Structure 1
Amino acid sequence: MRLSIVKVILFCVYASVLLCGSDGSTVLPKNVSVSAILVFGDSSVDQGNNNYYNTWGKANFLPYGEDFMGGIPTGRFTNGKTMPDLLAEAFGVKDYLPASLDPLLKDKDLQTGVSFASGGSGFDPQTTKITSGLSMSVQLDMFKQYLGKLKRNIEEEVADNIINNSIAVIVAGNNDLLFTLPVRRLQYDAASYANMIVNMVLNFTQEIYTLGVRRIVVFSAFPLGCVPAVRTVGGGLGRSCVDKENNVAQLFNNVLKHKLQIWGTSYPQSRVAFVDYYNSVMSIIENPHKYGFDVVDRGCCGTGELEATYLCNKLTAPTCPDRSKYFFWDGFHLTEKGNSIVLNHILQDMVNTLF
């Protein structure tokens, strides 16, 4: 019951590798380069697209971005860099990945990739009716428009080569499982709904493959029951992780991993990496001090137990005094350090699969 109340009150947007040599540089196989990073998904990888259309799910105000480029809030749902920024940096593409809807985007920026992600996004059409984000189908249309613009700016053969040598990253499904599944309970049980969303993930993967993408990274669901806001609503007085939400995420992940493996065998030219987001995050939550964190059950903003998007604002500041000790930034999203530590967990397997 309490979780339903938060869904109604907050309609909160859910979020959300460096493979280094001894000198801290990124290590890739010889004769391998990445031309561009293309990102699709939810608020954890939204680089500011939500700034440019009518939605309540925004993060273009302080304290969001207080550690980003001199304290400029850009619409990233964290205090600093996001996973797309860190991935682009790790693969030597560029320092920051821009939002595709950014009106200041230059033509040359398109050649190294953008993020199409939107806070509140999901695969189920019902999800964005709840969250007011840009759906994954809309993001696919945005990608097609991007391809058209790219090919108008440079030779088509060059554009095709950029897409063929890019890495596409998909981080979505969390909003579907957390916000929309309870609404769909009369139509689906957890297993059938998870299977439906997985099939949508595969259809999306097929679509971008058809459009020329060959290296695709698909993130598993997050441990949704351990998100600070969900702990507050459903975790009792001790604010423990909520098993029900975590179990749904694990069910989804098991089906997704299995079906992605089958899909990959049907397309030998493709390289599809399943990223175990769930267990990477859980290993940090269960062993925080190993990774330099003191707090993993609350965010930095306000009480850290609930606030996100407009509830995380100047009035709920000051934020925590030492962001480096906190895994979560707000009630749903990771800090820059949190993103960085998770990416350190996953890049090795990602590289081994993609190259």
Structure 2
Amino acid sequence: MNATVESAASSSIQCLFLFIFLVISSFAVPSCRAKVPAVIVFGDSSVDSGNNNQIRTILKSNHKPYGRDFPGGQPTGRFSNGRIPPDFISEAMGIKPYVPAYLDPKFTIKDFATGVCFASAGTGYDNSTSNVLNVLPLWMEIVNYKEYQSRLRKYLGVKKANKILREALYLISIGTNDFLENYYLIPGGRSRQYPVAGQYEDFLAGIAENFLRELYSLGARNISLGGLPPMGCLPLERTTNTMEGNGCIGKYNDVAKEFNGKLQWLAIKLGMELPGIKLAFSNPYDPFLEIIRKPSAFGFVNAAVACCATGLFEMGYLCDQYNPFTCEDANKYVFWDSFHPSERTNQLLSENLLKTSLAPFL
């Protein structure tokens, strides 16, 4: 009997020492080094983490039910029920689980040193696109970035700050609004000036090239240039396509594919021209379309309408907490509101990009 007690006591002591060793080891082993020192974001609502909250525009998502699945369950200004692609990419890079908005007063340069977002929902390459809903034009995102550079150099010193700016991963996601909220929506505007959508694509590609060259001149070397999604399949567009049974609008998808081809060629061209640049074209079109066409294969039950409200046309202030039709589980829906993917879709698209175009940065 005593031998049994002694054996049990000895076993307990061994377990205790093993537990203590594991706890000490967990503090002693340094964390894995991040793949890049920071993630820096430019673009529109697909990547805006809350900058529109701080400007005078009606295009905001600073109210419930936006953000209901974000840590803390509160709206942040992200056009999603939860996180958006830069958040997932930042986490995968070993940095942090979300990228803060530059204009958000809750954050400081200490927070921005490892990642920052300059994007503005509703904007585009074309300045006239940002005028539609009075949001930040792309050139203003660059102005804010230059200010950020100065603040970062004061905070960390010139040498260390420049190293971060040079080695950071720059994510760019923009262009959908130029077509859906400007070219095809505003009569007598760009569609009159550029009678063929292909000509407008060339105009936008020219702006994209100038933007990339300016980023390069400011020190950026690791850049992901995002393409357009199958924008004809967004619930908002399908709702208006009554003549074809509310299916995807093929013309819009064709334009997205054409423009993506021009962006891909631009990435190849600048990759050959600019010394030291690593410029990847990140194309969400095919993986996104596959999710839309085969939602059940990815665990979704609905790809035609969105989770919020009726799911047909609501976004921004029309997607509010008082609508009784909002779904209970956004993970079952490809889209959160009529224009933006759900958090689950954002995660799947981010994982695909990390395995493909973003793999060289890992």
TM-score (normalizing by structure 2) = 0.87
Q: Is the 8 A contact 1:63 1:317 kept in 2?
A: no
The code of the aligned residue for 2:93 comes to F
Structure 1's consecutive aligned runs of 4 or more residues displaced over 3 angstroms after TM superposition are 351-355
The equivalences for 1:165-204 within 5 A come to 165-182=167-184, 183-188=189-194, 189-204=196-211
Q: Is the 8 A contact 2:55 2:135 kept in 1?
A: no
1:341 equivalent in alignment to 2:348 = yes
Deviation at 1:186, TM superposition (A): 1.3
Alpha-carbon distance between aligned partners in 1 of 2:197 and 2:151, rounded to the nearest angstrom: 40
Q: Is the 8 A contact 1:235 1:241 kept in 2?
A: no
Deviation at 1:33, TM superposition (A): 2.4
**Structure whose alpha-carbon radius of gyration is higher:** 2
Tell me which residue corresponds to 1:332.
339
In 2 relative to 1, CA 353–200 (structure 1 residues): closer, same or farther, beyond 3 Å?
farther
1:273 equivalent in alignment to 2:291 = no
Tell me which residue corresponds to 1:164.
166
Could you list the runs of 5+ residues in structure 1 that have no partner in the other structure? 1-29
In 2 relative to 1, CA 232–33 (structure 1 residues): closer, same or farther, beyond 3 Å?
same
Tell me which residue corresponds to 1:24.
none
| Larger mean Cα displacement after TM superposition, 105-114 or 324-333 | 105-114
For residues 204-237 of structure 1, the C-alpha deviation after alignment (integer angstroms, 9 at most, x for no partner) is 1111111111100011111110000000012536
The code of the aligned residue for 1:326 comes to Y
1:104 equivalent in alignment to 2:106 = yes
The code of the aligned residue for 2:110 comes to K
Deviation at 1:133, TM superposition (A): 1.6
Greater relative CO, 1 or 2 (CA 8 Å, sep 6+):
1
Deviation at 1:31, TM superposition (A): 8.2
Tell me which residue corresponds to 2:243.
236
| Larger mean Cα displacement after TM superposition, 177-186 or 330-339 | 177-186
Q: Is the 8 A contact 1:37 1:169 kept in 2?
A: yes
SS in 1 for 2:271: helix
Could you list the runs of 5+ residues in structure 2 that have no partner in the other structure? 1-31
Q: Is the 8 A contact 1:235 1:242 kept in 2?
A: no
The code of the aligned residue for 1:72 comes to Q
In 2 relative to 1, CA 31–329 (structure 1 residues): closer, same or farther, beyond 3 Å?
closer
1:222 equivalent in alignment to 2:229 = yes
The equivalences for 1:23-38 within 5 A come to 33-38=35-40
The code of the aligned residue for 1:328 comes to F
Alpha-carbon distance between aligned partners in 1 of 2:53 and 2:42, rounded to the nearest angstrom: 16
The code of the aligned residue for 2:145 comes to F
Deviation at 1:238, TM superposition (A): 2.2
Tell me which residue corresponds to 1:254.
261
Q: Percent identity?
A: 38
| Larger mean Cα displacement after TM superposition, 345-354 or 226-235 | 345-354
Q: Is the 8 A contact 2:124 2:177 kept in 1?
A: yes
